[in-house]
Structures are given as structure tokens and as C-alpha cells.
Amino acid sequence: MEVKALACQLPCERNLPFSRLSSVDIAREAINSGIVASISGTTVWRWLSADAIKPWQYRSWIFPRDPDFAQKASRVLDLYQGIWNGKRLRPNDYVISADEKTSIQARNRNGLHSAPASGRSQRIEFEYQRAGALAYIAAWDVRRAKIFGLCAESTGIEVYHRLVDLVMQQEPYRSANRVYWITDNGSSHRGQTSVDRLAKWYPNAIQIHTPVHASWLNQIEIYFSILQRKLLTPNDFPDIKTLEHQLLAFQDHYEKIAKPFKWKFTKKDLNRILLKLSSDNTRHEKMAA
């Protein structure tokens, strides 16, 4: 128990210049503190890994801070289930998820790559020359698995307008009953001003914002993660023209094989998590008091 208590301490509390303690560090401190005469880092690791709760571990997390988080998130989750204001969407209603992937660099590698060999993976030259950067702006039709995108030097309202035109000026969106545009709170499409602007551009377009710091609710981020894995890793493009060509080529290829994402996270799941966070926060405040 004393070793586990030691593992829960911050290194600064023991005047150690670390951000966290390894199993070997804990073993050394346990010996120096006289808790045990001798112990190995492996034994410490085995003891700690057997615990159900591991307060010495952590991961980064963004807690909900939008006062209307539940309401905004619920609207998005309802749309993914084909529901708006408690009613089923019509066949000529569409849901678009849109965002920007900014500052994609074209990295021209300085050396040759080496082919994989027995017991050795392929080697990619680490050093590179920066050959410019561009932004990729895309929209994903949630129900039809259609992808629209364009490249630009930077993002902004004008570029977002171009993307909206790309989608809304073709069928079935041009004559649709309603087209819901799900976006985050980026500067290109932020606030009520953006909602009004989109409605002015196209009266049948309705902008829906995700809560602040909740881009994970935007399905276009799933497509961006696929793009990152399959095209942009490793990054090796001689110039931004090649990068743009490859981005749009990938987009065309992916659309041919794409299917709607199987989104399983529902309002019920959201409410369960928010209730747990609220309970944890209340308990933490009582302990602090």
C-alpha cells in the first residue's frame, strides 16, 4: 500500500525533476524511503497494473464547457438518426457535415526512401524541404456517403461560400426541402451571423453548430482521419500542386467505395456521460469543501 501511495504522489512533492514516475523510479524511491530493503521495477509494475483504479495514470481530456452542450449535441445526434424537432426527416432532406483541414504541408523529402527488408520496415527520409501548404475544405453527405471538397491557400468565409456553392448548386440539394449543414465554431462559420448568412445564400440551407470543443461530433472528422492515414502519412509531396491533385484524387476514389458511417453514439449515450460527469464534479466539489 505504501508503494501504491508513492505512485500516486506528484514527483515535485518529492523534489524530483520529473513530470511522472516510472516503475523503476518508484522502486528506487521506495528503497530510498525505507519502505522496502529491495524491490525491482518489474515487481512495482506488476503490483500497480493489478489495481482496478490507477490514479497515477492520466490522459488528456476536454470537459464540456458550453452551457448549451446537451442541447446543441442532441440536435446533431438527432440528425444522424434522421430526426429533427422530434419528427423524421423527409426523403428530400439532407444532412451535410463540413469542416476545414488547415495548413497541410507539402514536404519534399531530401533523400531517397529504402525498401523494406527481412525484419526491417521501409525507411522514410526524415529531413525535408517545405514546399508550401494549403487548406482542404470538405463536406460529407451523412446519409448518401458523398464527399465534396476543394483546396485553397487559406480558409475564410469566401472559401466556405465556395464549398457551399459546390454542394448547393447541384441536385438533389438545389431542389431539396431542407439541407442541414453541421459545422464547428471555426471563424469561417461561427455564430448566428453565419446561420443567417447561409440562409441568405440558400433559403433551404440550415446551419447547425456543434458545441464548443466538440468537433468529434462532426462526421467529416472521420473522413479527415482516413485521409490522414491513407494519403498524408508519410507526407512526401514535391510541391503543393501535386498535393492538391492527390487530395482531390483521393476524394474521388474514396467516394466510389464509401458507405455511410455507422454512427452508434446516441442521445442516450450522451446523457449517460453528462450525468456521470456532473456526478463526478459534484463529488469533487464536496471533497474540496
- CATH number for position 193: 3.30.420.10
Closest C-alpha among 89, 72, 212 to residue 141: 89
pLDDT at 230: 96
- Helix (H, G, I), strand (E, B), or coil: what is residue 4? helix
Residue 159 and residue 73 share a domain: yes
Reported as half-sphere exposure (CB side, CA atoms, 13 A), residue 25 has a value of 16
In order of 69, 87, 107, 265, 285, the CA distances from 208 in angstroms are 13, 17, 35, 18, 34
User: Which domain range does residue 30 map to?
Assistant: 2-49
Domain contains 59: no
Q: Are residues 207 and 237 in the same domain?
A: yes
Query: Same domain for 104 and 156?
Result: yes
- Shared domain check, 150 and 32: no
The pTM for the full model equals 0.85
Q: 31 CB contacts (<8 Å, ≥6 apart)?
A: 37, 38, 39
**Would you call the peptide bond into 172 cis, given omega within 30 degrees of 0 as the criterion?**
yes
Q: What is the dihedral of CA 142, 146, 150, 151, to 10 degrees?
A: 70
If asked whether residues 134 and 24 sit together in one domain, one would say: no
Do 213 and 84 fall into the same domain? yes
Residue 59 has pLDDT above 70, yes or no: yes
Statement to judge: residues 42 and 134 lie in one domain: no
Instruction: Identify the weakest region by mean pLDDT among 4-18, 85-99, 149-163.
Output: 4-18
Both 180 and 241 in one domain: the answer is yes
The DSSP call for residue 174 is T
Share above pLDDT 90 across residues of the chain, in percent, rounded to a whole number? 76
What would the pLDDT profile of 64-104 be if each residue is shown by its tens digit?
A: 888 899 999 999 999 999 999 999 999 999 999 999 999 99
Are 41 and 82 in the same domain? no
272 part of a folded domain: no
The model's pLDDT over 68-79, given as tens digits with 9 standing for 90+, comes to 999 999 999 999
Q: Are residues 146 and 177 in the same domain?
A: yes
Residues 32 and 137 placed together within one structural domain of the fold: no
Q: Is residue 269 assigned to a domain? A: no
Binning pLDDT at 50, 70 and 90, where does residue 56 land? confident
